[in-house]
Chains A and B, each alone.
Chain A
């Protein structure tokens, strides 16, 4: 049997994916476990609820598992996986447009970190307080570098809507993170 018999040295992402395509039945699982923390965070930031995040992540991984043979991008395998997860999450939001936003829970109980990590945690916490529509737009555009056009298409909304969600979400984040406190702030009240 040749499956999984490629030795024990750490394989790169690309090697794992190639091994998966060539029939190594453990390779994709290893690839998933290697990236699962970040992929799960991405899914959680881009979906309405923990359950949605889990479902979207599973759908995305099964899709990637099936479609690995078509992987052809110049991007790294990790970026490809990230993109599939974001696509799955945005697709899920598109299909469930009308549902109300679920209450949010804090999923970042991390302590004792550097200032940079602390900032990242604060930003994630603040993101989780945004309505999911604004959060998803900001994650896609500002975090993952999607174009406005791509984001709009995946969400099934107009480009102006994506821009507007980004604008409102950034203002809210600036407020939540206290970035506007340093100067006197001219603004209208908003939720």
Chain B
């Protein structure tokens, strides 16, 4: 067994057992003790009702913290100006589509509704696409509150097109990924997390790309189903907080 330096239990590992303080029990609960020490502490807890009480108290803390998330009634009302400011910032954006000016997207702030004129046109266009698609699909029976699946959302209206053919995208899978500015695994993991993927998701293919003169990095990732690939073009500064998504699509695996 490796005894890591600074391990809280190891300071006492060779001599008498350390007292079962609440701190030691919290270390055990958090997984900070190595297997050997954890086993020893657990053995001692079984014979120590006081320690059992402290461990129950720590468990109760975790349960109560988890319960907060599920308890909307205890949620305080945020200052109204917060919602107003954010609503205004959201309202100044087109409903969907390219993230405005990508260079500004890194530090979004409430902006005047200077895109209002464009929005009307965009909405009309999108509505037209929606109506056209609906007409083509036919008239399925109405399905009240049918969940909208990820596929539906993903393929509805891509913000901007990825300028590669499915064959070219599949070709990326066979080559070493070129991550460009996202070469650092931590940054990449953060970006993946922002896209809704676990940070450990294998990137099947990648390369720098330009869409409508905006630089980006193209990621090929496992799709929602085994026979598809998900393709994302993200900002070179992509992070968990802001992916700067330029476009996305899905392609069938070869």
Contacts and interface: CB of A to CB of B under 8 A. Distances in A.
Interface of A: 1-3, 5, 12, 14-15, 17-18, 20-29, 32-33, 36-38, 40-42, 44, 54, 56-63, 65-74, 80, 82-84, 87-88, 90-92, 107-110, 113-114, 116-117, 119-121, 123-124, 127, 138-139, 142-145, 148-150, 153-154, 156, 160, 163-164, 166-168, 170-171, 173-174, 177, 179-180, 182-188, 190
A187 B23 contact: yes
Contacts of A91: 190, 239-241
Nearest to B224: A72
B248 A69 contact: yes
Given A65-B93, A80-B196, A153 B190 contact: yes
B156 interface: yes
Interface of B: 19-23, 26-27, 29-32, 49-51, 53-54, 57-58, 60-62, 64-69, 71-78, 82-83, 85-87, 89-91, 93-96, 99, 105, 108-110, 119-120, 122-131, 145, 147-148, 150, 152-154, 156-159, 186, 189-190, 193-196, 198-200, 224, 230, 232, 239-245, 248
B86 A61 contact: yes
Contacts of B87: 29, 32-33
Contacts of A108: 74, 76
B76 A62 contact: no
A38 B77 CA distance: 9
Contacts, number: 306
A interface, over-half SS: helix
A103 B113 CA distance: 36
Given A40-B78, A65-B93, A166-B30, 5 more contacts: A63-B241, A90-B240, A108-B74, A145-B66, A186-B22
Given A3-B123, A23-B126, A117 B57 contact: no
A1 B125 CA distance: 9
A57 B82 CA distance: 9
A175 to B, nearest CB: 8
A82 B123 CA distance: 28
A69 B68 CA distance: 30
